Chains A and B, each alone.
Chain A
């Protein structure tokens, strides 16, 4: 096994491990948290609505993924 193929296998292992068998889940979490970052940057410090709203976005994105997943299968 050459160094490049070993590195590729190492990268593939961690990609599979982190992304799993449905990339949409990982993409959805990243998307929801990016919206969370935008809200956090635009809100006043200590705004108490931030956490529940961002948590709600995480949940909504997951529901949308599940519905799309089942519809597309």
Chain B
């Protein structure tokens, strides 16, 4: 793996994980600040333990049960689906056709839900804080696990991919511990845009390479220029996304855009 691929891998896993951890932090801080820090942190800890088990099981199954080309095809396709979903949202937001993700608004909604919830206690914990924090950390964390495993396995460097995610986790937790509030000033759409382009690039490269499993000998399909074509794909996806940001509003103006925020 070339150094450019190494940096791209690190940047992609760090940025993607950073965005997911920021979203999880918003939920945990809302629960902690309005109901119970102890229960919110306990829910987060149990979710992290569940994610560790999921990572170990999924990583073992992927590495040991699939031949290399099939592995590239399957995880490349999954990466492509995830990346294009992020890119779609980022393009629509940049084109003004979808509301920007607002971490402050998410926080307000979580706080309102926390205040309106009942006061059930189980195992000495505020059950609402525990469950909501668990779900938030597990759901956002599952995306991180997915990105780390797919990137790491395909780039043959799971430790580096995991290091990118771990660094993002450390940064978000440190900022959250200092600020005790959601990270509303993070340019989330820009980050998701960047990650969407990166995931779409690597997803295209690996899934197409993996189609070689259908050829005699199951050798990878060859991209012209080998790994350098990753750079070409990166440029193509970026330029294409900018063109779509420019063109889509004029297409939408023929009808009323009604894509909801999420």
Contact = CB atoms under 8 A, between A and B. Distances in A.
Contacts of B248: 66-67, 70
Given A55-B204, A73-B258, A22 B88 contact: yes
Given A40-B214, A51-B223, A18 B81 contact: yes
Contacts of B222: 46, 48, 51
Contacts of A50: 211, 221
Nearest to A41: B214
| Interface residues on chain B, size class | 35 or more
Interface of B: 73, 77-78, 80-82, 84-85, 87-88, 91-92, 97, 142-143, 146, 200, 204-205, 207-209, 211-212, 214-217, 219, 221-224, 229, 233, 236-237, 240, 244, 248, 251-252, 254-259, 262
B224 A51 contact: yes
Interface string A46-63: 101011101100110011
Contacts of A54: 208, 211, 221
A53 B71 CA distance: 21
Contacts, number: 109
Contacts of B77: 29-30, 33
B91 A66 contact: yes
Contacts of A37: 211, 214
A17 interface: yes
**Which of B221, B233, B251 has most A Cβ within 10 Å?**
B221
